[in-house]
Every structure is written in structure tokens, then in C-alpha cells.
């Protein structure tokens, strides 16, 4: 058959399967993300029925999915709210780095992978998945919750930190030395600051470029601007996700409100594609040899993420259920962890087992993370919180 024919059949069949899986997940009360990942494993390299013609489509769609997830998050908040939240969350961001990067570095040293492997694994365990968490928050109806700005602040700090970390680790792995790393770091810092200043100071001007009353023009304009800025940010060695998030921050008023409604169906479509693509690129046969170490690392670093979120929410006065929702929501790792591990693939400076370990680690956290995020909604968990309050916490700490 013609390549285009095969492409249409594969894409159509997989999207149909995703639709059925999404319906199934709603019936059993779970997020569809783990089922999307398992579908990707089934149809990816080494899976039951590997797809051949549609890989490039899903690769591009996955990148668009992450961008749409982040711009939608940005549309929920204004520039002033972002700056205020970043200032308030700065101590939490520092604690986040210490609590979650150090276990990965220590694990790499224990495995005998040297200081370069330790630095790479520290990045893998440090950063939560903005894409997964954004999807979970939307699925659980928590975008308007009081603790959500705390979660977003931590994610933005992590993404901004990655804008500085990725150029440095790339220089280390390629052997460019201090000079190459310094140049890459300088470009990243200047780019992030410039985009942030434009978003904060001239966001109202950007919003006036679009008409909230013309759905077609608004959809095309906002989507085009988001992809453009994300692409430029990626070209300058800054996270495309950061660029997309800042575009969402820059838009305000009726434009932001209407854009949210128009982009929501596209976000759901391409977010599903993103999670499927992650599974498609994972060979199930490479996971068993590193599964136990990956589970051990996941248990430790998911616990440190829960502690990070709990302390960050407590610091700004969030009640006890919101603290747990914050910590449990931050558990999944995803896109950045895979990108970091991918940088190390093929280099002689890092043990070849790092890539499959990172993949297994991310899969464990991404499958279990959305399930853990639902714990605060269960009646038994709420009863447990009430018992904790009865043991000495103030009454307000057990309610939201």
C-alpha cells in the first residue's frame, strides 16, 4: 500500500484505540495517561504490533502536545501572578533542587557511573513532568484550586532551571569545556530574561494583536504565535515549554479566556499523542534488566517530591489536603528526564545503561504518579486527614 494510506490507517486506528481507552479510564475513575503509555509500548519498538509509517507524525504531534499543555497553563495566570508566585516559591525551588537532584546524583555515584553520570542522573530525577502534571490537573478539575499556583510556580522554576542546566550538561557531554558551556549558558540566560520581560511589560500589546470576537482568527493567531515562540526558544537552547508558557502568561482578558476554550480540544488531542509517542519510543525488552533499580530510585524520589510540594504549600498557608495534593501531583517525571537521558546516549562519558534506566524510571513515575494524585479524593484518605487534625493540628488544616 501507498505510504500515505498506511499512515492514515495507523493514525486512525491508534486514535480510535485512545478514544476507547479514555472512555474506559473515565469509567474506572483513573487518569487515561497510564493507558496511553501502555498503548504506546504495545505499538512501539519491540511491542506487540509495531507501527512503521506514523512515527514521524507522532513525534511532531508529541512536541505540539507539550507546547499546548504549557500554553494552556500559562493562560490560567497573569504576568503579575507569575512574578508574585515565583518570588514566593523561590525557597521551595531551591529545596526542590536539593531534595530531588541529590538522590539521583548519589544513585549514579553508587552505581559507579562517575561524576558525569551523576550529573546527568541528577537532572533526570530533579524535574517533574509539566506535561503529565498539566494533564492530571485538568483531568481532576484542579486548575482553579488554591494550591495549583504553588504547583505551577515549582514547575516554572524547574523549567527555567532546565534552560540553564541543559546547555551546561550538553557542553560537558560533548567535551566543549568551560568556554563552550559559558557561552551556551549566557545565551540561555539572555533569552529567558528577554522573553519574560516582553511577556510581563508588553503582554497587553500582544493581546491586542488578536480579536476575541473572531474564533477562527484567534485560534490560528494564538496557535501560530505559541509555536513560533516555542520554536525560537528551542533554537536558542531554551526549553520550548518555557516559551509556550510565557506566551500564555502574556495573553490576558477576553483573548485569554476565549483562547482557552478554543485550544482545549487541540490540547486533549495532542497531549494524548505526546504520551503515546513516549511509549512508542520505549523498547519493552530493555526495561526488565534495570526495572528494580528504577523502582527503588522512583520510590525515593517520588517521596522527596511529595515532601517538596507539601512543604511549599505549607509555607504559603495551604490547608492539609492541599499540601498533600501539591506533593502528590509533583511525583511524575517525563519529557525533560527523557531529553536529558537522550543527550547522554552514544557518548563514552556515560554508562550505556543510563538510558534504559531513565526510561524505566520515568515510566514508573508516570504510571503511578496520576494514580497517587487521586489519593486525596478518596474517602479513606480524607478520614485519615481528619484523624491527623484531631491529633493536634488546627481545625482549618483539615479542611479546604
Please report, for the domain that includes residue 326, its CATH number.
Answer: 1.20.1530.20
Q: pLDDT value at position 292?
A: 93
3-class secondary structure, 392: coil
Decide: residue 367, CB within 10 A, 0-12 exposed, 13-18 middle, 19+ buried. middle
Arithmetic mean of pLDDT over the chain: 81
Q: pLDDT value at position 352?
A: 78
Q: Does residue 340 contact residue 168 with C-beta atoms inside 8 Å?
A: no
* 336 pLDDT higher than 90: no
Domain of 278, in residue numbers: 3-398
CA atoms within 13 A on the CB side of 65: 24
3-class secondary structure, 252: coil
Task: Report how many domains make up the chain.
Answer: 1
112 vs 241, higher pLDDT:
112
Q: Which of 269, 236, 254 is nearest to 64 (CA)?
A: 269
**Runs of H (alpha helix) within the chain:** 3-28, 33-43, 55-75, 79-110, 114-126, 130-139, 148-174, 177-201, 203-207, 215-235, 240-250, 253-280, 291-315, 320-329, 335-344, 354-373, 379-390
Q: What is the pLDDT of residues 343-369, one digit of tens each?
A: 776 677 777 788 788 888 988 898 888
Q: pLDDT value at position 398?
A: 43
Over pLDDT 70: what percentage of the chain?
Answer: 86
How many Å is the maximal CA-CA distance in the chain? 70
Most confident of 44-48, 63-67, 263-267, 280-284: 263-267
Amino acid at each position: 500500500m501507498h505510504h500515505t494510506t498506511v499512515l492514515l490507517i495507523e493514525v486512525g486506528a491508534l486514535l480510535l484505540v485512545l478514544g476507547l481507552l479514555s472512555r474506559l479510564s473515565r469509567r474506572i475513575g483513573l487518569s487515561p495517561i497510564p493507558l496511553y503509555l501502555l498503548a504506546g509500548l504495545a505499538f512501539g519498538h519491540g511491542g506487540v504490533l509495531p507501527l512503521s509509517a506514523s512515527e514521524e507524525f507522532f513525534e511532531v504531534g508529541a512536541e505540539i502536545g507539550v507546547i499546548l499543555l504549557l500554553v494552556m497553563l500559562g493562560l490560567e495566570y497573569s504576568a503579575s501572578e507569575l512574578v508574585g508566585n515565583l518570588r514566593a516559591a523561590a525557597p521551595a525551588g531551591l529545596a526542590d533542587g536539593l531534595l530531588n537532584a541529590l538522590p539521583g546524583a548519589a544513585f549514579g555515584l553508587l552505581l559507579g557511573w562517575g561524576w558525569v553520570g551523576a550529573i546527568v542522573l541528577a537532572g533526570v530525577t530533579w524535574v517533574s513532568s509539566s506535561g503529565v502534571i498539566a494533564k492530571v490537573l485538568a483531568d481532576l478539575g484542579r486548575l482553579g484550586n488554591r494550591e495549583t499556583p504553588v504547583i505551577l510556580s515549582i514547575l516554572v522554576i524547574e523549567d527555567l532551571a532546565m534552560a540553564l542546566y541543559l546547555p551546561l550538561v550538553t557542553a560537558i557531554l560533548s567535551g566543549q569545556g568551560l568556554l563552550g558551556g559559558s557561552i551556551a549558558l549566557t545565551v540561555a540566560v539572555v533569552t529567558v530574561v528577554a522573553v519574560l520581560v516582553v511577556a510581563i511589560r508588553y503582554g497587553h500589546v500582544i493581546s491586542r494583536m488578536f480579536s476575541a470576537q473572531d474564533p477562527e482568527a484567534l485560534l490560528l493567531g494564538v496557535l501560530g504565535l505559541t509555536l513560533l515562540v516555542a520554536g525560537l526558544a528551542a533554537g536558542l537552547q531554551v526549553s520550548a515549554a518555557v516559551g509556550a508558557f510565557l506566551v500564555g502568561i502574556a495573553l490576558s482578558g477576553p483573548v485569554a479566556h476565549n483562547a482557552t476554550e478554543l485550544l482545549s480540544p487541540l490540547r486533549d488531542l495532542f497531549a494524548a499523542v505526546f504520551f503515546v509517542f513516549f511509549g512508542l519510543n520505549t523498547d519493552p525488552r530493555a526495561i526488565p534488566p534495570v526495572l528494580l533499580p528504577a523502582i527503588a530510585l522512583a520510590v525515593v524520589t517520588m517521596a522527596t517530591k511529595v515532601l517538596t510540594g507539601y512543604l511549599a504549600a505549607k509555607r504559603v498557608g495551604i490547608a492539609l489536603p492541599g499540601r498533600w495534593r501539591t506533593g502528590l501531583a509533583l511525583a511524575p517525571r517525563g519529557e525533560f528526564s527523557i531529553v536529558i537521558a537522550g543527550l547522554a546516549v552514544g557518548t563514552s562519558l556515560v554508562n550505556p545503561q543510563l538510558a534504559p534506566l531513565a526510561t524505566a524510571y520515568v515510566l514508573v513515575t508516570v504510571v503511578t504518579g496520576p494514580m497517587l494524585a487521586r489519593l486525596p479524593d478518596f474517602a479513606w484518605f480524607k478520614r485519615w486527614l481528619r484523624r491527623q487534625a484531631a491529633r493536634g493540628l488546627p481545625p482549618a488544616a483539615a479542611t479546604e
